[in-house]
Structure 1
C-alpha cells in the first residue's frame, strides 16, 4: 500500500519561501503519493453562515446555500482523511499563522468528521495520522513566549486527532539563515518514512 501525503503550503513568498523548500524536501524524503494544497495560491473561503449552520447537518439535510458553502470544506476534509502524513509549511507572520492557514483550519473543523463532542470533552476523529510542520521565521524563536503559531497549530491538530506532530524549525532567520536552513535539512534527512 502506498503512503499518502498531504502537503499544505501557506507561504505567500513563492519560490523564495523557506517553508516551501522544506516541505518539498520532506515529501521527497517520505516518498509517497502527494496531494498538494497551496493555500497562498488558492486561499480557503472564510467561514460563512451557510458553513456554520451546514457543517453539523448531513449532506441531504443542507439547504442550497449550505450545500454551496460546504463544497470546499468537504473537499479539504477528504484530503485530510485520505492522508497518512500531513506536511505543513508554517511561516510565522507577526508571531502567528498566516490567515490562509487559519481559514483552512476553520474549514476542516467539522463536528462528526474531524472531531466529536463527548461527555469528556472534544475528541479528535483523525487518529493514527502523523504531521510534520516545517516552520520558518525571521525573528521569532520556535517555542518561545512570542511563538503563538506552533503551539496553536499543534493544539489544533491534536483537536482533530493528529497527535503525532514533529516540528522542523528554521527559525530566527534574520540572525543567520544559512546555518539554520542547513540544520533544518539535516533534521529532514533523518525523518523515517
Structure 2
C-alpha cells in the first residue's frame, strides 16, 4: 500500500490555489490507486512553532540528558519525522509569498531537518537518510517566475529535499494567477492536465 503525505502551506488552507491543485492530484491518485493511504497536514489549520534557541538546544541535546521540557519539544519534531518516514510520496502545495516559501512551510522544514535522524554528516559530506521517496510540488504564483532569478522557491525546495535524501522531485507550476483572468485560467488548466497525467 502506498502512503501519501500531503502538506498544505497556503495561508488560506483549502481555499488556496496550491491546496486546490494538490487536492486534485491526491483525488486523482486515489481514484487510480484506491488502496493508497492519505495523510494530510494543513499548516494553516495547525501551524508549527518557529525555531528558537530553546528548541534547537533540545534537538541537539543527547537523548539521555534531555530535560522533561526538552523531551516535549523534541516529541513534536519526532512525530513529524515519523510521519514522513512512513510515507512513500510527499505532496506539497507551495504558494509564493514575497518571492519565498510560506514561513509555516519553513517551520515544517526546520522541524524535520535533524542531524543523525533525517541526515548525517560524513567524511564525504552530508548524506540524506530519507532516500527512496517521491515528491510532487504544486507551486502557485501571482506572477511568472519559473526559470528566472526571482524564482527562489524551486532551487530551495529541491535542495532541501535532496539534503534529506529525497531526490526524485517533480514541480507542477501554475503561474500568472494575478495577471489576468485568461492567464489564470490557462495556467490552472495546464496544471490540472499535468497533474492528471502524473496521477495516472
Same fold (TM > 0.5): yes
Tell me the equivalent position of 1:123. 127
Cα RMSD of the aligned pairs, angstroms, is 1.4
1:57 positional shift: 4.3
| Structure 2 spans left out of the alignment, 5+ residues | 31-35
Return the match for 1:55 from 59, 63, 68: 59
Between the two proteins, the alignment pairs up a number of residues equal to: 192
1:112 positional shift: 1.2
CA distance in 1, matches of 2:14, 2:199: 26
Secondary structure at the aligned position of 1:34 is classed as strand
Task: Give the structure-2-normalised TM-score.
Answer: 0.91
CA distance in 2, matches of 1:57, 1:192: 42
Confirm or deny that 1:36 pairs with 2:40.
Answer: yes
After TM superposition, the structure 1 = structure 2 runs for residues 169-184 of structure 1, keeping only pairs within 5 Å, are 169-175=173-179, 176-184=183-191
Superposed CA deviations along residues 33-73 of structure 1, whole A, max 9, x for unmatched, are 11101111111111133331232345333222211211211
CA distance in 1, matches of 2:143, 2:39: 31
After TM superposition, the structure 1 = structure 2 runs for residues 1-193 of structure 1, keeping only pairs within 5 Å, are 2-31=1-30, 32-175=36-179, 176-192=183-199
CA distance in 2, matches of 1:189, 1:79: 26
Worse overlay, 8-17 or 160-169: 8-17
